[in-house]
Structure 1
Amino acid sequence: MYRLMLVEDDEKLSALVAEYLAGYEFSVDVVSRGDAALPRFRELRPDIVVLDLMLPGLDGMLVCRQLRAISNVPILILTAREDTFDEVSGLEQGADDYINKPVQPRVLLARLRALLRRGQPATRSDDLVFGAFQLSRENRTVTWRGRPVSLNSTEFKLLLVLAESAGHVMSRNDILLKMRGIEFDGLDRSIDNCVSRLRRKLDDNDGERIKTVWGEGYLFSPSAWDA
């Protein structure tokens, strides 16, 4: 599932986009203010950004410039502005594509897929890095605060599932489906036991890095891994 950050202050449009894209392997995180986009981007580390231009707090052009200064993540501008100057300016600020509102959902989906095919986003590489935490998909290794962490196969798979969905709550059912292809039966405590082992090995005794969201599941907190 791709993580998409939607910077849009129109709540109705945001809800429609999020609902539609959820059916096509996109997890959508909505930011409603321009001045909140950069901090949320650093925390979320999305695979792609959809950005409105007319935003409260900070103009979308400036947001685009800020994001491009720190990342090569694909940026698609989705705006009601129809002036050619705005389109040229947006692309010059670092956007990869520019679409005028209103847009058909299937057209937006096609543009997003095309952008993702053009290059491998940094967050989809073999390494997942959050502060002093690093996980290598290729080598199946985990490093925390500069030292290797010894994990068995189940522990690594669970940590990978959680880290790939950093910032999003994963239910036990979702975790088991990704790890084993089976559904949670309501009695299986293997996930809870494995999380407890991971917390011990990752010095997370207070559960701030791998958080328990009561009644929902677990959340890998992307901003809690500073050394």
Structure 2
Amino acid sequence: MIRLLLIDDDVALTTLLAEYLQKDGFHLTVVNDGTTGLRRCQQQQFDLIILDVMMPQLDGISVLKQLRQFSHTPVIMLTARGEGLDKVLGLELGADDYLAKPCLPRELSARIKAILRRSRQQLQHHTLTNGDLSVQPASRQVLCRKREITLTGTEFNILYLLVSCSGTILSKAEISQQALGRTLGAYDRSIDVHISHIRQKLGPHPQAMQWITAVRGKGYQFNTQHTINEGL
């Protein structure tokens, strides 16, 4: 059974979400403050974490920042409508997706299933290699010039998609649908933020810019058989 952790101080909302998600077949643990939630993450392994941004004492952004120091479990952030800065900051810190509150339980369940489904699908595929880069779906490991690169689940999904389609320009909408499992909304910069984070992890600027190039007005492309020059 898929194990979820929901961290949110809104008792009414967590009760509603818990009832729906449990009926949908998930095993759900609910905590109502960030400190307790972070402690549970250290004590127990979860398949996915649902994390509210606005909480007293230890807020969701602070929880995520500490969580990413020891765990790469997929995280969906719950944000207040219009809180664009929180969304971008959450993505930069390693969140896999976000959903505006109040959210529909059905949509949250669909987002959870999409993230986990892509992780399972990749287990069925072989290792992808492109120049100095190796992407191994079975272990979800990325090696760049024999150096292991630590990515979040969504960052891995996006990189895996780009490398598997090397030489092909993919629109942001295509990347969002295929890697995140959702339609890209208007003014949604999540794909740009994720790709910026991937570039930072692959190597120092401007080297990493040579791996994934932005094609103005069209999307992103991973360059076929590209090898970074160590002397650059």
TM-score of the superposition, structure 2-length normalised? 0.50
Name the structure 2 match of 1:92: 92
Distance 2:46 2:83 in 1: 28
Unaligned runs of 5+ in 1: 121-227
Name the structure 1 match of 2:48: 48
Contact 2:21-2:109 at 8 Å conserved across structures: yes
Distance 1:7 1:62 in 2: 13
Name the structure 1 match of 2:8: 8
The answer on 1:77 being equivalent to 2:63 is: no
Runs of 4+ residues over 4 Å off in structure 1:
none
Q: What secondary structure is seen at the aligned counterpart in 2 of 1:79?
A: strand
1:56 offset after TM fit, Å? 2.0
Contact 1:18-1:27 at 8 Å conserved across structures: no
Distance 1:80 1:20 in 2: 21
1:81 offset after TM fit, Å? 4.8
Count, aligned residues: 120
Name the structure 2 match of 1:17: 17
1:94 offset after TM fit, Å? 0.6
Written as runs of structure 1 = structure 2, the 5 A alignment for 1:1-227 is: 1-119=1-119
1:68 offset after TM fit, Å? 1.6
Name the structure 2 match of 1:190: none
1:31-88 deviation per Cα after TM superposition (whole angstroms, max 9, x unaligned): 1111122211122211100000111220110101111221111100012252221111
1:166-224 deviation per Cα after TM superposition (whole angstroms, max 9, x unaligned): xxxxxxxxxxxxxxxxxxxxxxxxxxxxxxxxxxxxxxxxxxxxxxxxxxxxxxxxxxx
Q: What secondary structure is seen at the aligned counterpart in 2 of 1:57?
A: coil
Name the structure 1 match of 2:225: none
Distance 1:21 1:13 in 2: 12
Q: In angstroms, what is the RMSD of aligned CA positions?
A: 1.3
Instruction: Name the amino acid aligned to 1:16.
Output: L
Q: What secondary structure is seen at the aligned counterpart in 1 of 2:68?
A: helix
Unaligned runs of 5+ in 2: 121-232
Instruction: Name the amino acid aligned to 1:116.
Output: L
Distance 1:118 1:68 in 2: 21
Contact 2:6-2:31 at 8 Å conserved across structures: yes
Contact 2:53-2:86 at 8 Å conserved across structures: no
Distance 1:93 1:81 in 2: 20
Distance 1:2 1:103 in 2: 21
Q: What secondary structure is seen at the aligned counterpart in 1 of 2:82?
A: coil
Q: What secondary structure is seen at the aligned counterpart in 2 of 1:69?
A: coil
Contact 1:74-1:95 at 8 Å conserved across structures: yes
1:8-42 deviation per Cα after TM superposition (whole angstroms, max 9, x unaligned): 00111111111100112211111111112221112
